[in-house]
């Protein structure tokens, strides 16, 4: 492919396999992804993005979009094609008076959060600091603050986006409201988003941390966890559970509470039952800055390990489901692998399913099975563990999935991520991208219509 025409219109670097920096730029979080794009266009601003999209449209090629490079399916990279790489675009403007932040889409949460925390403000982000704000926000965004503040997409006020024609438009409640709705969970289907304006909330300290029990106590711990989260938690308290290993390799079952309310004494009281349960081998719960919480589990999910995921929402966790979860957790084939239960409640569940593209709005548990390992020779073994664990949990499935947790072999599950919203999304996709230019994603099939 000849990129001369793009170079004349583009301020950033265009990396080809001969360029210094190409190897580093094609590496993403999942070490299993080994794609060699023909070019990686490292955008410096929306003008570069528009040039790259026009170039792709003129040559009828289907670019991949790279934000933070964390998507497990490797959507950010494409073999022998064009990658529109947003990662150099990292400006952020916080308006503390208006409680908003407008952020370019090359930022990670580890870069976004300190900028808002400098003003004692935050918005819902993910569980770790290394994910990109873009892909995570566009899929909906599940995180520590969702009980109090809603999902990430519930806090978006506007998107600047380059659509398939190369035109730059703004989507908000007043401008292209259909697109605004679709961007609240519809992923990278509608164009290349160059900046997002978020609503911010006052937040300084959290009470959070891990409470670790030996994995052989997992049945009792998970029964307690289930009853605790179903007892009607305050919005400010989120509690996850995870079967994982300590850094020195000991298998544990962890409860991870996070209190985001301003009344820390109330938080201590709310978390106390978790801390008082059983005989934990470690109780690491403490008052910490939100930025520290965001980095707390980064070390457990390092860049470059090989990874395969299965995920889906479960409504409840009867004893038989706990038994199944524990059996598979005990048979983990890699000490790096993690099985997580993410309790969703509060503000995130008070939004109507049809109010945003992200449709899973009932209280429930997101089961996220993360196979993680380092040796390519072991791919089949760890992938099989992840798949068989997920299949065994199927009896308790709600039939819904978070789009950002889908892996590369799960195109058929995309409609499950949107439920009844899928038809409307297909129509909007048809209006803004009838040729399906943006198809290197968890794709929503366009239904062709005239653009509004």
Ligand X SMILES: Cc1cc2nc3c(=O)[nH]c(=O)nc-3n(C[C@H](O)[C@H](O)[C@H](O)COP(=O)(O)OP(=O)(O)OC[C@H]3O[C@@H](n4cnc5c(N)ncnc54)[C@H](O)[C@@H]3O)c2cc1C
Residue 447 vs residues 55, 161, 179, 423, 435: alpha-carbon distances, Å: 24, 20, 15, 9, 10
Q: In angstroms, what is the minimal distance from the CB of 200 to ligand X?
A: 18
Query: Quick check: 182 and 150 in contact, CB under 8 A?
Result: no
Nearer to ligand X (CB atom), residue 349 or residue 404: 404
| Residues in region 61-90 near ligand X by CB under 6 A | 64-72, 75-76, 86
The two structure tokens encoding residue 373:
């390992």
Kindly state whether residue 123 participates in binding ligand X, applying the rule CB under 6 A: no
Indicate which single residue of 3, 14, 103, 105 sits in contact with ligand X (rule: CB under 6 A).
Answer: 105
| Residues in region 188-247 near ligand X by CB under 6 A | 188, 192-193
Among 120, 116, 100, which Cα is nearest to 205's? Answer: 120
Among 122, 358, 354, 399, which Cα is nearest to 236's? Answer: 122
Nearer to ligand X (CB atom), residue 65 or residue 326: 65
Q: In angstroms, what is the minimal distance from the CB of 126 to ligand X?
A: 3
Among 370, 366, 352, which Cα is nearest to 419's? Answer: 352
Query: Quick check: 212 and 284 in contact, CB under 8 A?
Result: yes
Indicate which single residue of 123, 124, 131, 337 sits in contact with ligand X (rule: CB under 6 A).
Answer: 131
C-alpha span between 130 and 127 (Å, rounded): 9
Query: What is the contact mask toward ligand X in residues 296 to 325, using x (rule: CB under 6 A)?
Result: -----x------------------------
Nearer to ligand X (CB atom), residue 28 or residue 200: 28
Q: Which stretch binds ligand X (CB under 6 A): 134-142, 243-251, 266-274, 324-332?
A: 134-142
Nearer to ligand X (CB atom), residue 385 or residue 402: 402
Q: Enumerate residues 6+ apart whose C-beta is below 8 A from 373.
A: 305, 306, 333, 334, 336, 337, 379, 382
Indicate which single residue of 63, 81, 132, 209 sits in contact with ligand X (rule: CB under 6 A).
Answer: 132
3 state DSSP class of 98: coil
Q: Where are the beta strands (DSSP E) in 266-399?
A: 282-283, 286-289, 306-314, 338-344, 364-373
Nearer to ligand X (CB atom), residue 326 or residue 341: 341
Indicate which single residue of 404, 416, 421, 426 sits in contact with ligand X (rule: CB under 6 A).
Answer: 404
Q: In angstroms, what is the minimal distance from the CB of 320 to ligand X?
A: 28
Kindly state whether residue 135 participates in binding ligand X, applying the rule CB under 6 A: yes
C-alpha span between 212 and 246 (Å, rounded): 9
Residues binding ligand X (CB under 6 A):
28-29, 64-72, 75-76, 86, 105, 126-128, 131-132, 134-136, 138-139, 141-143, 187-188, 192-193, 301, 404, 440-441
């Amino acid at each position: 492919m000849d990129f001369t025409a793009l170079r004349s219109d583009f301020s950033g670097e265009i990396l080809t396999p001969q360029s210094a920096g190409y190897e580093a730029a094609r590496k993403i979080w999942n070490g299993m992804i080994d794609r060699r794009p023909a070019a990686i266009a490292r955008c410096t601003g929306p003008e570069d993005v528009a040039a790259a999209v026009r170039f792709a449209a003129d040559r009828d090629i289907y670019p991949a979009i790279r934000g933070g490079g964390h998507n497990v399916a490797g959507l950010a990279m494409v073999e022998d094609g064009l990658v529109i790489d947003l990662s150099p675009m990292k400006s952020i403007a916080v308006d503390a008076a208006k409680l908003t932040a407008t952020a370019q889409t090359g930022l990670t949460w580890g870069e976004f959060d300190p900028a808002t925390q400098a003003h004692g403000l935050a918005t819902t982000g993910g569980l770790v600091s290394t994910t990109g704000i873009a892909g995570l926000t566009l899929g909906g965004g599940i995180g520590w603050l969702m009980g109090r503040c809603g999902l990430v997409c519930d806090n978006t006020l506007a998107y600047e986006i380059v659509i398939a024609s190369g035109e730059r438009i703004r989507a908000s409640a007043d401008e292209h409201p259909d697109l605004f709705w679709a961007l609240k969970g519809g992923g990278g289907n509608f164009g290349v988003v160059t900046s997002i304006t978020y609503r911010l909330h006052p937040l300084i300290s959290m009470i959070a941390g891990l409470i670790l029990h030996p994995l052989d106590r997992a049945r009792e711990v998970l029964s307690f966890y289930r009853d605790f989260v179903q007892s009607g938690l305050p919005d400010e308290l989120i509690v996850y559970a995870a079967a994982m290993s300590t850094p020195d390799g000991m298998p544990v079952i962890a409860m991870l509470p996070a209190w985001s309310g301003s009344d820390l004494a109330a938080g201590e009281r709310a978390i106390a039952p978790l801390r008082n349960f059983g005989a934990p081998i470690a109780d690491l719960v403490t008052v910490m800055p939100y930025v520290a919480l965001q980095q707390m589990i980064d070390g457990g999910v390092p860049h470059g390990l090989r990874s395969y995921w299965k995920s889906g929402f479960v409504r409840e966790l009867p004893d038989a489901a706990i038994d199944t979860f524990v059996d598979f957790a005990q048979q983990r084939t890699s000490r790096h692998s993690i099985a997580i239960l993410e309790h969703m409640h509060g503000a995130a569940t008070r939004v109507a399913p049809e109010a945003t593209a992200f449709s899973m709005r009932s209280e429930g548990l997101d089961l996220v099975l993360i196979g993680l390992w380092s040796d390519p020779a072991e791919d089949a073994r760890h992938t099989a563990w992840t798949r068989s664990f997920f299949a065994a949990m199927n009896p308790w499935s709600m039939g819904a999935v978070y789009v950002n947790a889908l892996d590369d072999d799960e195109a058929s599950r995309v409609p499950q991520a949107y439920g009844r919203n899928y038809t409307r999304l297909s129509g909007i996709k048809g209006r803004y991208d009838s040729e399906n230019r943006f198809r290197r994603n968890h794709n929503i099939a366009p239904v062709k219509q005239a653009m509004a």
